Structure 1
Amino acid sequence: MQVMETNILAKKPRLTHIASEGILIVELPRSAHEVPLSELRGAFAPIIEQMPYDNTLIHPSVEMNLSLKSSSGDFNATPDLSIHLARLSRRRLKPEFVCIGECVFSQDQDTLLLKLQLEVDAHSEVVMVVMIVLTEARPYHSPEEDSTAWHIFRRHSECPSFEEFLDMVEIMDEDSTWLGPVKVAGHTWCLISNVNYHVWVKVGEKKININMVSSGTVAAHGTLFPEIDMDTVDVVIHQGLLKIRDAMIQFNKRLDPQADTSLLEVTDVLWDFNWSRCQARIVNAAKCTAHEHFEDWYSGCFRGTKHSIEDVDTSGNFDTSAATSQSSDSSQTSLSPKAPPLTRARSRVMNRDGSPIFLSLG
């Protein structure tokens, strides 16, 4: 078991449990993780809502953080984004997931791919999968004790606000598409080098396989940063939205075989997404993420009683009510040792069978 600690738990964790592999994934997403997903949700929701479906029978919904699980119960997950269809009548019909979206930032991509495929395996009715990958130039680490940043901010009686923090950025370009390093007091708090999108759309009856190219799947890859190259992604997302429309028709027919779905059947989908706006929002989210990193580090170092790492109880006696400390590179939380906040980060790894528990920032 891996235990990571933090002073601040700003958002509800997202959990993925893979019982067969002995894996628990805990995601505590940052702004850079959330913004690309919220932009997609904002585009998908009105498209789905404006389709001429029978709103007395079905309820399509675009959700962030809606849990799903396999029929066997050995897999539970919370996709970052999902589109699902639910019934409004009394007839019993299991809700269907038709689209799943995930974003990776400061997280292991292989683990995300495993999670995505298991989500599709648990709900083979999924017709479109979107994966967004934000790559850091190098993994984030908080400043070391006795560093320039440590000496500068130990003199601050309060944590600088977001605006005050931005005023201290050493390199800043007002160009909204500039995703350079957010550097303050000689320390880089966030540096995203690439933003890539991957989309898979189901063809025929075979479920989507994201690990290989097959006749049952159409796939596309596009880049949002450093350059916008999303034409192929636009084409495949449009195909995916048409597949979602078809899934709505089939869902409606299962509820009412006599339902008139002719208008929905001839409805086209207009997909005209503003990728430039999305890029600009990610640039701003990188600044927000930098300040979130800074806040967590500042709170761990300069609030409350400070202790050296040697003062920590390493006996393994854990207590859920104890104070927490700052992780060096992420905002993870778990059981905490009986000790006040630390000036430096600590992680403790205990494995029973050697299988890892992944904790990631997302």
Structure 2
Amino acid sequence: MARAARHTACGGRGLAGAVIVSSVTQRHLQLDDGTVWVTSLQDGKAARYNVRLQEPDTAVAASDPKFDVAQQGASTVLAEGTQVSAIHPSTISLADSSPTGAAVQSFVANGTLALFNRARGDVWVGDTGDVKALNAAETPAHMKLGVGGLAAVTADGTVYGYRPKDGMVLAIDDRGAPDHVREVGSLSDGKAQSADSFTVVDGQGVISDGDDIIWNGGRATFADAAPLVLQAPSADGKQGAWVAAGAPSGLALVDLTKRGGEARLIASGGQGEPAQPASSGGCVYAAFAQHTNNSVRACSATDDPAYATLEEVTPTSQLQFRVNHRLVVLNDVANGNIWNPDESTDVIKIQWKTIETQQNETERSNDDSTSNKHTFEKTCCYM
């Protein structure tokens, strides 16, 4: 019988990549491997793209034509049809699937997994390491927001919800006690208030409704700018008290410390469907489905950034930002094209049809043996 291989990686300052192994006996490994998961609906796959090496290294196939991924660090889940599955970080197999009963949106942050049924406004909260325990098809929701409700999850794993019947922002702070839901406060003095989008920035709940951005005690109006798509919460918690929203005509910026509602729109000069802006490193990234002036980054509410033109973005592009390991990648989920706006305006075309798709968990388990198991030193120092 072959002896199990033993690996150490101490003493080095940089680590260019990670060894993909069949099984890992310790779950302590949290490695910034420079990868971001992206998707292609056309090819029915999600791929792990190594931004630093500029190439994908593996992929998983979806079983439903409509699917999406949520990610933070080594935790990645695939939501498709009426189930959600963890993507095992070492074997890259779909594991620990759980039924959802209906299509849900998934959020992952700081070990927290949240599932959101937008049709009913229901939210379930659990642990990314135990997806099977989060059975949204059979267990009661932990947070009930009602029709028109919206959800968001911040970098620390706090799950927020917006309840339109009274404008209330709700929160679950501890995934270990998801039934403990607290009321943060109403954005409408307890009156009914609909919302098109919802986010939380610097601890403040914010909604958009038509041409308005609304927060506790403040409102900013952008004439003829609707629909406004509020940014996702900061991926690393580094953004200050300001918020951004994508509009067909450009990027809307609001200082949340000014109750007077000062509104600034950085116009692109075009009309394109906005992706939901993403926040990382204290800056917000925005993109628009139009041929020119389709990308911009702002780092404060008073910033006056210049637009860039990403190659091969079109009015039919379905743009979505993918953020992980402090990296921001723009993904056209329709055809799988991606862009790295921090590095270049060039389009990156993944060879989706030739990229290896990993076996599922059952198939792989039949091939496992003691000769391909690896043990990592508990005291090893990883970057």
Output the TM-score relative to the length of structure 2: 0.24
Q: Which has the higher helix share?
A: 1
Query: Which has the higher relative contact order, 1 or 2, with Cα contacts under 8 A spaced 6 or more apart?
Result: 1
Output the TM-score relative to the length of structure 1: 0.25
